[in-house]
Each structure stands twice: as structure tokens, then as C-alpha cells.
């Protein structure tokens, strides 16, 4: 794997081109585990318990596979991207120092004017591509203020309620102040007050990370106040994921309480940034007669330059193309200054009663510097919207349609599965190569195996699980057959089993990895897939390929071996150099030539 496949990948790259590893965090993890895997074999087979694998060693070997997968997944998701060393003494240049804070408050009328100005600012920012706040949160502010005004006209509730105006706000990278609105509704007639504390987002929860704290006083009937926090240069430099600090309300005066929205995150976005993608509505319902489902993708927090993303659809209960026309790798482009684009998915209107069905529209692969919002379903790597097709056909349109729906059987899916299963056999027997002796010979050699594997159910059946387990069983049987054939071949040729293992068996099992890595090296822009296949294969072969059977065998020989099995075990290994008469029965893995 390491030497041959890597060499093939290097040689496969076209002349004059090169590949580099983009996600180095994943590479570091898989490469480290790949080297550790062989060191671990030496430890357990030659040091801790020579030639014997204990249950603890078997379970640890298998457990390392889970650790590898989890760490690689976290690295792929970017969880380790912000691990940095700032240098210097701890707290020497701590960014969470006290900053200037200004408070201002108005009554309901002036607050309404301020709110309209707030919207005008957002509209201007949208046109110019600058940072803008979340419109949905801003609507919440208006709703809270309106409720407070209406409440004053009638009977007053017993308590007043304090909340922030928005769960998060965004400011441009050149703005010096962040304005956070605090609103009060319910009983707003008496004077009241509420405490606030502002903590930096890139530090811990200790006392030193408090950026600002104080108390906001509300006069009689005052419904809104504004806290203006100074934004320091180091805030922008050391902000995590664009968020610089979070303001939290606490300790309201007697006769008041905190509402559900009592904290606000302040984020910094670049005013000339490419922007962030977010779906306007990620859950929509359409009727069949509408003939199409329209989804709008918005571009917020900047509109600089040309950006794009890729759109695909994914079947749910709705099956393409019977229920809708699928979209495959469609590029959705945003020119500079364009803030939203729409995607229309054609809906197939038929007369068959099928009940409500759904499918997904997936936006991914953002290009041009844009990214997907963390608020998206699937963010920040993608945005996923669900479309529900409401059935508007008559239940009596077909004699069995209603029965299929009641039984939870998707007739379109059944038809599609049958068609795909039939196509598998057509593809298995179809000859698609050149009419040469070698091509025809290889075709005839592979034909029985192709027909056997054509019996595997299509992936659409039961979400792919039936196909997974059936194919896994087929691969296991085929691997056992190949292993026996290799052993018999080595025996007939007088080759030692260890030599057979590192030649015939290794070559046969590594050929698929070789071609996969070679194609990835040629077609991919980066080397992550090709090199990751090598390092990942080494680790998985040891930790899963050996760990699972070793753990099962070690537990069996230690806990469940019968008397006859123990006698057979002593008889088999009594001639080994490491054997000691009367030793306890265990799972034996003779190290032989593993070390020198």
C-alpha cells in the first residue's frame, strides 16, 4: 500500500502537474495511525504478550479504529482548525480587557423610529454588499415592541420581561461599535433595570474573559435601550468563527423577569467579503398541480465578486423521475452584487394517488470564497432544504393505490428497484470492450462473478442496508475463497505461507486500492483522496481487519474454549519455540518474521 500505490499515484499524474494535500489535519491523523498500527503489532506480538493476543489487546486494537474514525471526522469537519499557539505569557495581551460602553434608551415612539432606521441601514448594506443583520431576528424586535404597546392599552401583566432584540448581530470589519438592543415588554409602567455581562467568545469562562459588564436602567414606560460596545482590533484578529463576544442579560430588578431570548452574539464580517449562503425557507410544501417547487438561496454578509454553488436533489419518499425531475450537479452562479437566486424543481403531476411525498434539495461546494451559514441544515459545508409534495389526486383514482399508501409501500420505488435490478443483469452480461483476445478472455473469466454479484439488491432497497449486508457477505465469501486458492497455490509451488501472503494475497487485495488511488491522483485537484486512501487503508487493515477477528478469537479462546479445543490447541502449538508445557490456552498469533 505505502510504497507501490504511492509510486503509482506519482507516476499517474500528467507531466507538468502536481498535487498537494489540502486537508492536512486529516492526513496527519491517518498517517500517524498508519505508522502506529505497525508499531502496535510489534508491541502486542513481541513485547507485552509474545505470540499471544489477549482479550484486552484485541479489544484495544479494535478500539483504535473507532478513535481513528472519530478524530479523522473531527478534523474533516474543521474542529481542529482553530488550535493555535498565541505565544507569550498567558494573559500578557489578553483581548478581554474592559472596553468603552455607551448606553442610550428611548420610549416606544422614539424606539420605533430607531427601528425603522435600523431597517434602512440593513437595506443599504444589502444593496452595497456590506454586512447586514438577520432580518428574522429584527422582525422579532418589532413584534416584541408592538406587544408592549398593545399591552399598555389594556390590563397589565404582573411582571415585566427583559430580552435582547436579536440572538445575533453582524457588524462590518471597519465598524468600531456594536449596538445591541434590549427590550422590555409586559408590565412596562414602573422603572426597572437589568444587569448585563459581555464575555469574549475566544476565551474560557473565567473572570478574566469579561469584556464589559454593567446595568441598564429603564424609566417609566420605557420599552427599549441600546448598549453600544467598543470593538477592539484584537477582537477581530482573534475572533473564533467571526464571533467576537456574547452579551448576556441577568438579575432583573424585582417585579421583572428574563425572557427566552436573553443573550446576543456579536459577529464580525468583512464588508468586502464574498458573502454567506442561506436558504430563505428550508422546508416548503407544494401541490402536484403547481408543477414546480421554487427555493430561494440568499447571499448575506457581503456580495463581493462572483460566487457559485452546486445544486443536487436527493430522493425521499418522492422518487425521481416518477414524482419530480431530478437536478444533478447544476451550478448556481451569483454575479457581483447579486443577493439571491432561485432554483425551480419540476414536479410531475399524475393521476395516481400516492399520499404526501418528499425529497431534498442540496446546495453544496461553495466557490469564489463564499460559504454556507451555520444556521443552514447541513451547514457550514452545505445547505439542505426539504420539499413536500402534497398529493391532490383522488383516493379512488386507482383500485390499489390507496392500499399501497396505507401499507407504506411506495409503488414508484418498487417499479424503480425492479428496473434497476434488471439492469444489473443486463450490465453483467454486456460486453463493452474491444474485440481482442485478451479482452474477451478477461470478460469470460469475470462473467460468472459478474452474474453472481448482479443478484445483490439495488441500493435503493431499504435505504441501501440490504445491499450493504448482502454485498458484505459476498465479499467475505469471495475473500475466503481467494485466501484458500492462494494457500493451495503456494503449497503446490512450494512457497511458504508468509511469502504467499505478501505476494499473491497482498497483490490481489491491493489492486482495487491501486486503481482507486491512481484515478483520484489523476482526476482530483488535490492529493487528499489518493494519499488518504493509502494511509487510511493501512490503519483500517490493522485496527479493523485484524482487530475485529482478533478480539472475537481472543474472547473465545479465553472464555468459551471447550476441553477438546484446549487439547487440540496444545497439540498444535507444542512444537513452537515459545510454547511452555501447561501454559494457559489463548489466541495464538506466532510473530515469526514480523520482527528481526
28 is a domain residue: yes
Query: Which residue in 285, 429, 289 sits closest to 349, CA to CA?
Result: 289
Q: How many domains does one find in the chain?
A: 3
C-beta atoms surrounding 556 within 10 Å: 13
C-beta atoms surrounding 145 within 10 Å: 21
The answer to whether the beta carbons of residues 53 and 88 sit under 8 Å apart is no
The answer to whether the beta carbons of residues 157 and 187 sit under 8 Å apart is yes
Q: How far apart are the first and last CA of the chain?
A: 21
What is the rounded distance in angstroms from the CA atom of residue 40 to the CA atom of residue 159?
65
Q: Across-strand partners of 192?
A: 218
pTM over 0.85: no
Name, in order, each residue with C-beta under 8 angstroms of 561's C-beta and a sequence gap of 6 or more: 569, 585
Mean pLDDT of the chain: 78
| Tens of pLDDT, residues 476-531 | 888 888 888 888 888 899 888 778 877 777 777 777 778 878 888 888 888 888 88
What's the confidence (pLDDT) of residue 202?
53
Are residues 302 and 378 located together in one domain of the fold?
yes
158 is a domain residue: yes
Mean pLDDT, rounded, for 157-181: 79
CATH number for the domain harbouring residue 311: 2.60.40.2030
- Residue for cell digits 483504535? 64
Name, in order, each residue with C-beta under 8 angstroms of 156's C-beta and a sequence gap of 6 or more: 186, 187, 189
What's the confidence (pLDDT) of residue 238?
57
What is the rounded distance in angstroms from the CA atom of residue 514 to the CA atom of residue 518?
6
Domain encompassing residue 8: 3-78+495-594
- Cα dihedral 150, 119, 276, 338 sign: positive
Are residues 589 and 514 located together in one domain of the fold?
yes
What is the rounded distance in angstroms from the CA atom of residue 270 to the CA atom of residue 301?
8
Q: Among 373, 397, 421, identify where a domain stops.
A: 397
CATH number for the domain harbouring residue 539: 1.20.1420
Are residues 259 and 316 located together in one domain of the fold?
no
Mean pLDDT, rounded, for 45-54: 90
Confidence of residue 222 (pLDDT cuts 50, 70, 90): confident
| Tens of pLDDT, residues 371-405 | 898 888 887 888 999 999 887 655 545 555 555 55
What is the rounded distance in angstroms from the CA atom of residue 559 to the CA atom of residue 546?
20
Mean pLDDT, rounded, for 343-363: 83
102 CB burial (10 A radius; 0-12, 13-18, 19+): exposed
Are residues 250 and 184 located together in one domain of the fold?
yes
Are residues 114 and 248 located together in one domain of the fold?
yes
C-beta atoms surrounding 509 within 10 Å: 17
What is the rounded distance in angstroms from the CA atom of residue 443 to the CA atom of residue 414?
31
248 is a domain residue: yes
DSSP state of 131: -
475 is a domain residue: no
What's the confidence (pLDDT) of residue 407?
57
How far is residue 466 from each of residues 423, 457, 460, measured CA to CA in Å? Answer: 18, 7, 9
Q: Among 367, 397, 427, identify where a domain stops.
A: 397
Most confident option among 28-32, 119-123, 125-129, 551-555 = 551-555
Query: Which residue in 170, 163, 172 sits closest to 140, CA to CA?
Result: 163
Query: Which residue in 255, 231, 208, 244 sits closest to 94, CA to CA?
Result: 208
The answer to whether the beta carbons of residues 242 and 81 sit under 8 Å apart is no
409 is a domain residue: no
204 is a domain residue: yes
Are residues 115 and 264 located together in one domain of the fold?
yes
pLDDT value at 112 more than 50: no
Are residues 292 and 368 located together in one domain of the fold?
yes
Count Cα neighbours of 145 within 13 Å in the Cβ-side half-sphere.
27
Are residues 285 and 312 located together in one domain of the fold?
yes
What is the rounded distance in angstroms from the CA atom of residue 442 to the CA atom of residue 356?
48
Are residues 301 and 227 located together in one domain of the fold?
no
Q: Among 360, 381, 397, identify where a domain stops.
A: 397
The answer to whether the beta carbons of residues 96 and 209 sit under 8 Å apart is yes
Name, in order, each residue with C-beta under 8 angstroms of 395's C-beta and a sequence gap of 6 or more: 353, 401, 402
Confidence of residue 244 (pLDDT cuts 50, 70, 90): confident
Name, in order, each residue with C-beta under 8 angstroms of 498's C-beta and a sequence gap of 6 or more: 592, 593
Hey, is 561 helix, strand or coil? Answer: coil
What is the rounded distance in angstroms from the CA atom of residue 99 to the CA atom of residue 229?
7
What's the confidence (pLDDT) of residue 76?
74
DSSP state of 155: P
12 is a domain residue: yes
Percentages helix, strand, coil for the chain (3-state, rounded to 5) are 45, 25, 35
Are residues 263 and 124 located together in one domain of the fold?
yes
In whole angstroms, what separates CA 90 from the centre of its chain?
A: 34
Are residues 308 and 258 located together in one domain of the fold?
no
Could you write out the three-class secondary structure of 562-579? CHHHHHHHHHHHCCCCCC
b/e burial code for range 43-53 (CB count within 10 A of at least 16 → b):
ebbeeeeebbb
C-beta atoms surrounding 27 within 10 Å: 19
pLDDT value at 139 more than 50: no
DSSP state of 527: S
Count Cα neighbours of 238 within 13 Å in the Cβ-side half-sphere.
17
C-alpha cell at 174: 471597519
Cα angle: 56, vertex 58, 64; to 5 degrees: 100
Backbone angles phi, psi at 324, to 5 degrees: -155, 160
In whole angstroms, what separates CA 399 from the centre of its chain?
A: 43
How far is residue 5 from each of residues 12, 169, 507, 527, measured CA to CA in Å? Answer: 10, 50, 11, 13
Are residues 282 and 259 located together in one domain of the fold?
no
96 is a domain residue: no
Amino acid at each position: 500500500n505505502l510504497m507501490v500505490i504511492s509510486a503509482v499515484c506519482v507516476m499517474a499524474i500528467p507531466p507538468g502537474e502536481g498535487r498537494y494535500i489540502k486537508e492536512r489535519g486529516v492526513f496527519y491523523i491517518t498517517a500517524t495511525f498508519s505508522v502506529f498500527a505497525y508499531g502496535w503489532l510489534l508491541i502486542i506480538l513481541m513485547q507485552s504478550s509474545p505470540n499471544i493476543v489477549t482479550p484486552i489487546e484485541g479489544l484495544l486494537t479494535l478500539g483504535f479504529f473507532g478513535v481513528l474514525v472519530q478524530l479523522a471526522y473531527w478534523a474533516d469537519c474543521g474542529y481542529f482548525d482553530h488550535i493555535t499557539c498565541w505565544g507569550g505569557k498567558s494573559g500578557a495581551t489578553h483581548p478581554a480587557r474592559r472596553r468603552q460602553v455607551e448606553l442610550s434608551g428611548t420610549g416606544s415612539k422614539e424606539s420605533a423610529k430607531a427601528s425603522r432606521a435600523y431597517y434602512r441601514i440593513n437595506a443599504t448594506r444589502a444593496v452595497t454588499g456590506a454586512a447586514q443583520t438577520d432580518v428574522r431576528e429584527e422582525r422579532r424586535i418589532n413584534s416584541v415592541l408592538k406587544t408592549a404597546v398593545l399591552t399598555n392599552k389594556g390590563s397589565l401583566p404582573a411582571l415585566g420581561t427583559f430580552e435582547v432584540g436579536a440572538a445575533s448581530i453582524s457588524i462590518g470589519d471597519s465598524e468600531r461599535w456594536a449596538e445591541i438592543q434590549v427590550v422590555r415588554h409586559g408590565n412596562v409602567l414602573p422603572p426597572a433595570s437589568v444587569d448585563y455581562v459581555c464575555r469574549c467568545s475566544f476565551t474560557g469562562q473565567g473572570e478574566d474573559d469579561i469584556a464589559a459588564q454593567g446595568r441598564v436602567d429603564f424609566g417609566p414606560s420605557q420599552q427599549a435601550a441600546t448598549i453600544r460596545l467598543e470593538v477592539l482590533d484584537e477582537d477581530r484578529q482573534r475572533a473564533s468563527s467571526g464571533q467576537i463576544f456574547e452579551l448576556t442579560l441577568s438579575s432583573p430588578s424585582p417585579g421583572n423577569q428574563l425572557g427566552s431570548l436573553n443573550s446576543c452574539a456579536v459577529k464580525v464580517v468583512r464588508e468586502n467579503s464574498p458573502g454567506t449562503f442561506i436558504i430563505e425557507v428550508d422546508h416548503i410544501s407544494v401541490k402536484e398541480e403547481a408543477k414546480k417547487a421554487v427555493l430561494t438561496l440568499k447571499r448575506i454578509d457581503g456580495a463581493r465578486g462572483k460566487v457559485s454553488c452546486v445544486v443536487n436533489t436527493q430522493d425521499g419518499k418522492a422518487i425521481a423521475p416518477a414524482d419530480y425531475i431530478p437536478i444533478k450537479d447544476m451550478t448556481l452562479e451569483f454575479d457581483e452584487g447579486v443577493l439571491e437566486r432561485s432554483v425551480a424543481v419540476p414536479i410531475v403531476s399524475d393521476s395516481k394517488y400516492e399520499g404526501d411525498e418528499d425529497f431534498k434539495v442540496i446546495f453544496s461546494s461553495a466557490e469564489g470564497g463564499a460559504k454556507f451559514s451555520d444556521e443552514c441544515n447541513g451547514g457550514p459545508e452545505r445547505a439542505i432544504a426539504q420539499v413536500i409534495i402534497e398529493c391532490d389526486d383522488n383516493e379512488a383514482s386507482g383500485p390499489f393505490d390507496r392500499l399501497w399508501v396505507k401499507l407504506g409501500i411506495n409503488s414508484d420505488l418498487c417499479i424503480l428497484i425492479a428496473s434497476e435490478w434488471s439492469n444489473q443483469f443486463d450490465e453483467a452480461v454486456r460486453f463493452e470492450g474491444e474485440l481482442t483476445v485478451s479482452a474477451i478472455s478477461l470478460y469470460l473469466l469475470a462473467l460468472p462473478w459478474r452474474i453472481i454479484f448482479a443478484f445483490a439488491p439495488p441500493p435503493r432497497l431499504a435505504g441501501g442496508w440490504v445491499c450493504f449486508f448482502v454485498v458484505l457477505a459476498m465479499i467475505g465469501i469471495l475473500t475466503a475463497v481467494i485466501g484458500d486458492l492462494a494457500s493451495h497455490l503456494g503449497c503446490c509451488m512450494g512457497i511458504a505461507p508468509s511469502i504467499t501472503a505478501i505476494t499473491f494475497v497482498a497483490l490481489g487485495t491491493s489492486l482495487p486500492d491501486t486503481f482507486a488511488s491512481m484515478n483520484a491522483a489523476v482526476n482530483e485537484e488535490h492529493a487528499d483522496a489518493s494519499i488518504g486512501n493509502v494511509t487510511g487503508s493501512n490503519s483500517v487493515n490493522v485496527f479493523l481487519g485484524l482487530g475485529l477477528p482478533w478480539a472475537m478469537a481472543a474472547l473465545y479462546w479465553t472464555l468459551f474454549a471447550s476441553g477438546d479445543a484446549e487439547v487440540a490447541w496444545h497439540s498444535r502449538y507444542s512444537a513452537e519455540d515459545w510454547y511452555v508445557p501447561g501454559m494457559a490456552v489463548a489466541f495464538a498469533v506466532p510473530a515469526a518474521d514480523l520482527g528481526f
